[in-house]
Amino acid sequence: MTTRVYLASATVRDEPMQARDLPAERFFVNASDVKEVWVETESDKVPEIGRAVSFSLASQIEIGFQRITGTVERKLDKSRRP
């Protein structure tokens, strides 16, 4: 099950993974008129809306950051989409 997690007050950090981090399979930034940041994860441990969350990229890639932190703004279960 893939969950898309929209984040408020999102930050990216070039830090090593922490034990509490959830895996982030995909990371997106929409920089158009409606600015959004979201992460897609296969984890079933995503906290409720309004709670702080941290993710680490599931794969090691050299893009200048490894961790994503923020507050859960909303969640979308991608397996339930029509």
Domain spans, the chain:
3-75
pLDDT beneath 70: ranges in the chain: 80-82
Closest by CA position to 22, among listed 79, 67, 82: 67
**45/61 Cα distance (integer angstroms):** 24
CB half-sphere exposure, 67, CA atoms < 13 A: 13
Residue 82 pLDDT: 58
pLDDT at 79: 76
Give the position of tokens 């200048």. 64
